[in-house]
Amino acid sequence: MVGFGGWEMPLSYPHGTLAEHMVCRKEAAAFDVSHLGTVRVEGPGSFERLQGALCNDLGRVAPGRAQYTQLLDEGDGSVVDDIIVWWVDEQAFDVMPNASNTDAVLAAIGGQDTTDTRAVIAIQGPLARSVVERVCPEAAAVRRFGVARFMWQGSPCLAAGTGYTGEDGVECAVPASVAGEFWEAMLDAGAQPAGLGARDTLRLEAGLPLHGHELGPGISPLQAGLGWVVGWDKPAFRGKEALIAERARGVTRILRGLVAQGRQPLRAEQEVLLDGREAGRITSGNYSPVLGRGIALALLDPAIGTGTSVSVAGRGREIAAKVTALPFVKAGTAAS
């Protein structure tokens, strides 16, 4: 157990991070992600409030859908937090910020912090839906990036076809009072528990950004390669003017993937070198259990394209690597 964003979280279970990682890639893993915040925004004007604060265009989706979006800094357009919005009902939204950013998001959008009232259990992997179906068929039927209500043991719950592993899966928000029983039911149905360690290596293989690494102060959606998250045609949202200005002048760095030639893990903050000169810096790095190589996400000079050979400054030596397209591992690759 480790401290994480003010919560005590499992880093791994007895089988270890590597085994948990491969279970998610090949079968079904259960993650307790209750540390994610939940801010309920509801009532008249709730859509307009979120539309004016968050950068993505909620008008692209509808009730019963989820959307990935971001809250930006008004001054420089950098990412204050990246967020999933569950559009529950016509005038009810569950906004899901990162653990340590709930207060900042609450201050920006209003609403009610309901984090303490529920737990969020994520079942992820190629067999995730078959596991969930044994416990609650209505939850298993939710489509990708869909949101649906379901009942479990007389308690109202929510399911969303979302996750943070690159695999298919379902995230279930259940009342805290029944969370322990719900977790045990998922394990009895065939899911294996997985902790923060596997969650991080899985999202890295999937090329998914982590706030505080690929997103955060000074890093805009454009630099992170997430321009598609921006509702450019919206009349206004926080940070829009700064993003328009950055788009016009061009980014000075952009997020890329790196694959090392060998098994040595790449690590955050290591320098990336091109012809002996610094060309960027790693934001997240680790060993890829599926590829059997070191992989990393790095903010690089935008002139450095896919296929470029670079080196990473390691401890006393340089590690050969190549710039590669993301994701490193596609869903279902390890299971096939």
Element (H, E) at 133: helix 128-135
| Backbone phi and psi for residue 107, each to the nearest 5 degrees, phi listed first | -65, -30
- 204-234 in b/e form (b: 16+ CB < 10 A) is bbbbbbbbbbbbbeebbbbbbbbeebbbeeb
Hunting for tokens 């294996």 — which residue is that?
A: 192
Q: Is 326 left (phi over 0), alpha (psi -120 to 50) or beta?
A: beta
Average pLDDT of the segment spanning 132-152: 98
Q: What gap in Å lies between CA 191 and CA 198, rounded to an integer?
A: 14
Q: Is 207 left (phi over 0), alpha (psi -120 to 50) or beta?
A: left
Q: Per residue in 251-286, pLDDT tens?
A: 999 999 999 999 999 999 999 999 999 999 999 999
Numbered ranges of CATH 3.30.1360.120 in the chain: 2-205
Q: Are 71 and 240 in contact (CB under 8 A)?
A: no
Q: What gap in Å lies between CA 109 and CA 203, rounded to an integer?
A: 27
DSSP state for residue 219 in the 8-state scheme: B
CATH of domain 2-205: 3.30.1360.120
Q: What gap in Å lies between CA 208 and CA 101, rounded to an integer?
A: 18
Collect contacts of 150-159 with beta carbons under 8 A, ≥24 apart. Answer: 152/178, 152/182, 153/178, 153/181, 158/86, 158/88, 158/94, 159/132
Report pLDDT for 222: 98
Is the pLDDT reported for residue 295 higher than 80? Answer: yes
Report pLDDT for 240: 98
Q: Per residue in 102-124, pLDDT tens?
A: 999 999 999 999 999 999 999 99
Q: What gap in Å lies between CA 136 and CA 168, rounded to an integer?
A: 17
Is the pLDDT reported for residue 333 higher than 80? Answer: yes
Q: Are 114 and 38 in contact (CB under 8 A)?
A: yes
Identify the band that residue 99 occupies on the pLDDT scale cut at 50, 70 and 90.
confident
DSSP state for residue 211 in the 8-state scheme: B
DSSP state for residue 250 in the 8-state scheme: -
Q: Per residue in 213-254, pLDDT tens?
A: 999 999 999 999 999 999 999 999 999 999 999 999 999 999
pTM score, whole prediction? 0.96
Task: Tell me how far CA of residue 303 lies from CA of 30, 224, 307, in angstroms.
Answer: 40, 15, 12
CA 334, distance to chain mean position in Å, is 20
Query: Which residues, in sequence order, are CB contacts of 110 under 8 Å at separation 6+?
Result: 41, 49
Element (H, E) at 82: strand 79-89
By residue count, the chain amounts to: 336
In the chain, % of residues over pLDDT 90: 96
- The mean of the pLDDT values for the chain is 96
Numbered ranges of CATH 2.40.30.110 in the chain: 252-336
Q: What gap in Å lies between CA 336 and CA 333, rounded to an integer?
A: 6
Report pLDDT for 71: 98
Give DSSP secondary structure letters for 8-23. Answer: EE-S--TT-HHHHHHH
Q: What gap in Å lies between CA 297 and CA 280, rounded to an integer?
A: 11
CATH of domain 252-336: 2.40.30.110
Identify the band that residue 336 occupies on the pLDDT scale cut at 50, 70 and 90.
confident
Report pLDDT for 301: 97
